[in-house]
């Protein structure tokens, strides 16, 4: 059983990423930014938070093709996330979409190169009638600014956001509507765009790093029995959390753990408390959904969150389950998958965990 880990490529090594579409070989695994659509003619439409109903930005996308079934030859999983912490914790603030294509399809040749020449101008795809991308979030945009007809939107919400935050009120009709001029404000809505790379989980002995972490958490471990030091322990630490911590400490910079069966592994729970053992079946084909990947708390440190905001998003882990059958999403239909958000058992532990990881990373940097 092996787990592939996802890491954020260091900022200085990040190359510019394609927008909206690219060949399969250039398709990045990434967090943030606008979605890059597997089928550029078919961007997903509105993706609303199940709690606050706001449009959700892309949290990450992952190219995860499968040998079987044939309709999953190309396969991308998109994860969208509300920026409100209470929505995320309610488990309604993260949505997962999956899109697949057969090996033989109208968009890519056998080598994965684009068969169609696409061009996007002013957020509209040429050669393809009626395909517009939302100026704010990159999703399908059925409406546009009624005055300049340039900026396209997925929703009224994003039109209003552009009018106010994006200063479209002043830019409309000036010929300067194009996103490049003013795109910095978009980061208030979208997550920062960063490419990921993958590596197999290392097998390095955990003892090398573990005592330091345990010490910082004020937790003592004797053999297999984990004891809490009653005088010093402020946070309640459970065994599952310790396991989580140990395993993550093999490679503390990991932001994603990919463990789909048959080669993969089970998800790592962040705590004994708040596990979800009933995963809803795929609504399209009724197959069970199985574990595919999970997000670690370390991912949060790349999202440029406002840590002073009490409603900033936070999690112990986010576990993503997908249809075991990879049922037919090839006819342009996005399949909705299931994400489960688990908190650490005790409030504040997420922060201390991140702090420890950040300190470790800093230490390693200064050692280099």
Chain contacts with Zn ion (rule: CB under 5 A): 49, 51-52, 82, 84, 87, 93, 134, 136-137, 145, 147-148, 154, 158, 172, 282, 284-285, 287, 323, 327
Residue 90 Cβ vs Zn ion, minimum distance, rounded to whole Å? 8
Q: Which of 131, 178, 138 is nearest to 158 (CA)?
A: 138
- H helix intervals, the chain: 85-89, 156-164, 168-171, 179-182, 210-216, 239-248, 349-367
Q: What is the DSSP letter of 10?
A: P
Q: Which residues of 279-299 are buried (b: 16+ CB within 10 A; e: fewer)?
A: eeebeeeeeebbbbbbbbbbb
- Cα distances from 106 to residues 35, 38, 138, 168, 332, in angstroms, run 20, 12, 22, 36, 12
Treating both helix axes as pointing N-terminal to C-terminal, what angle do 349-367 and 239-248 enclose, rounded to 10 degrees? 20
Measured between alpha carbons, how far is 339 from 342 in angstroms, rounded to an integer? 10
Q: How far is the CB of 29 from Zn ion (least distance, A)?
A: 22
> Would you say 295 or 345 has its CB closer to Zn ion?
295
Residue placing its CB nearer to Zn ion in the complex, 154 or 349 = 154
Residue 309 C-beta: closest distance to Zn ion, Å: 14
Closest to Zn ion by CB, 3 or 154: 154
For the chain, state the CA radius of gyration: 22
Nearer to Zn ion, 157 or 359 (CB): 157
Shortest Å, Cβ 251 to Zn ion = 31
Cβ distance to Zn ion smaller for residue 98 or 353: 98
Q: 108 near 20, Cβ under 8 Å?
A: no
For the bound state, the minimum distance from the C-beta of residue 155 to Zn ion, rounded and expressed in Å, comes to: 6
> For residue 364, with 0-12 CB atoms within 10 Å meaning exposed, 13-18 middle and 19 or more buried, which class applies?
exposed
Quick one: 159 or 251, whose CB is closer to Zn ion?
159
Least distance (Å) between residue 26 CB and Zn ion? 24
DSSP, residue by residue, 35-65? ---SSTTS-----B-TTT--B--EEEEEE--
Nearer to Zn ion, 219 or 327 (CB): 327
CA 209 to CA 118: how far, in whole Å? 49
Give least dist CB 124 to Zn ion, A. 14
Q: How crowded is residue 326: how many other Cβ atoms within 10 Å of its Cβ?
A: 23
Among 257, 251, 242, 262, which residue's Cα sits nearest to residue 320? 257
Residue 341 structure tokens: 């958000």
Q: How far is CA 367 from the centre of its chain?
A: 30
Residue closer to Zn ion, measured from CB, 82 or 295: 82
In degrees and rounded to multiples of 5, residue 208 shows phi and psi of -60, -35
Nearest CB to Zn ion, comparing residues 137 and 303: 137
Q: How far is the CB of 38 from Zn ion (least distance, A)?
A: 17
The residues that bridge with 125 in the sheet, in sequence order, are 120
Q: Cβ of residue 260: shortest distance to Zn ion, in angstroms?
A: 14
The owner of tokens 């004994």 is 272
Closer to Zn ion by CB, 293 or 321: give it. 321
Tell the smallest beta-carbon distance from residue 158 to Zn ion (Å): 4
- Tokens 């297999």 label which residue? 224
């Amino acid at each position: 059983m092996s787990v592939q880990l996802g890491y954020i490529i260091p900022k200085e090594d990040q190359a510019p990423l394609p927008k909206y579409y690219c060949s399969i070989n250039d398709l990045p695994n990434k967090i943030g930014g606008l979605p890059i659509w597997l089928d550029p003619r078919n961007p997903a439409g509105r993706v609303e938070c199940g709690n606050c109903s706001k449009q959700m930005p892309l949290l990450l996308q992952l190219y995860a093709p499968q040998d079987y079934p044939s309709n999953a030859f190309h396969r991308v999983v998109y994860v969208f996330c509300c920026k409100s912490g209470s929505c995320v914790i309610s488990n309604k603030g993260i949505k997962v979409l999956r899109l697949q294509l057969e090996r033989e399809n109208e968009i890519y040749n056998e080598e994965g190169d684009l068969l169609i020449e696409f061009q996007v101008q002013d957020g509209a795809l040429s050669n393809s009638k009626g395909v517009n991308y939302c100026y704010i979030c990159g999703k399908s945009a059925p409406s546009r600014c009624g005055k300049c007809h340039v900026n396209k939107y997925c929703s009224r919400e994003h039109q209003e956001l552009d009018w106010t935050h994006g200063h479209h009120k002043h830019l409309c009709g000036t010929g300067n509507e194009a996103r490049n001029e003013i795109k910095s404000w978009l980061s208030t809505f979208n997550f920062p765009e960063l490419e990921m790379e993958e590596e197999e989980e290392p097998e390095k002995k955990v003892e090398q790093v573990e005592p330091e972490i345990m010490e910082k958490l004020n937790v003592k471990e004797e053999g297999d029995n984990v004891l809490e030091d009653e005088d010093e322990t402020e946070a309640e630490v459970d065994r599952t959390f310790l396991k989580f911590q140990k395993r993550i400490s093999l490679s503390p910079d990991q932001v994603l753990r990919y463990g789909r069966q048959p080669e993969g592994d089970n998800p790592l729970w962040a705590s004994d408390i708040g596990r979800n053992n009933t995963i809803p079946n795929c609504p399209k084909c009724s197959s069970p959904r199985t574990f595919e990947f999970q997000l670690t708390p370390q991912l949060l440190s790349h999202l440029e969150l406002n840590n002073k905001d009490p409603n900033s998003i936070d999690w112990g882990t986010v576990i993503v389950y997908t249809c075991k059958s990879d049922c037919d999403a090839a006819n342009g239909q996005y399949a909705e998958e299931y994400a489960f958000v688990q908190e650490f058992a005790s409030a504040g532990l997420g922060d201390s965990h991140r702090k420890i990881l950040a300190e470790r990373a800093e230490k390693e940097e200064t050692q280099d």
